[in-house]
Amino acid sequence: MRGTPAGMPSPHPLGGQLPAVYADDDFAQRFVEGLDVVLAPLFNVLDCLESYFTPALAPEDFVDWLTTWVGTELDGTEPLATRRRAVATAVSLHRVRGTRRGLSESVHLAFGVRPEITESGGATWSARPLGPFPGASRPGLRVTLRVRDPSATDPHRLHAVVAAARPAHLPFTAEVAPLLSPEGI
């Protein structure tokens, strides 16, 4: 929650803008100085408004608000750098939402690891009609996140990220698994 920072001068003091009859009135000058204290942060925000909408420069609490504006799939526990990156890349992620690339980018942004994605679909070409259909007969999507310590990764969070970024028509499973050893075991 923002408050009034101590010692912030107003760039437009009201005392100098009062009619001449109040220029020497001590009460009127002290009264409007109280208003200057209230208005100084407002003027400061308006003067720096562009910075509030630049993820790299915005204050931390405003970055959290921006994450809700742009529809990021964050839960608020991520480091500040991740939240800033999520806001900055939101438009490009929305552009590829529902695609394999978009799903991979969303999981990578949330967990810092690229997932393994297995899809049931496929595409093929045939010179003859009624050729075999590619892919599996049942639609499905499987996302596996391989990490060093699976117990430290929230599987419900992975499920929520995949549910938000997957193609809408595909049923899916999401799992957290340990890293494979170099031998593949």
pLDDT, position 54: 92
8 A C-beta contact, residue 94 and residue 71: yes
1-49 residue pLDDT tens: 556 666 777 777 888 888 888 888 899 988 988 888 888 888 888 888 8
Structural tokens at position 147: 């990490």
Cα separation, 119 vs 105, whole angstroms: 16
Q: Kindly give the parts of the chain with pLDDT less than 70.
A: 1-6, 182-185
Nearest CA among 69, 161, 182 for reference residue 117: 161
pTM exceeding 0.85:
no
pLDDT, position 142: 95
Nearest CA among 18, 9, 15 for reference residue 44: 9
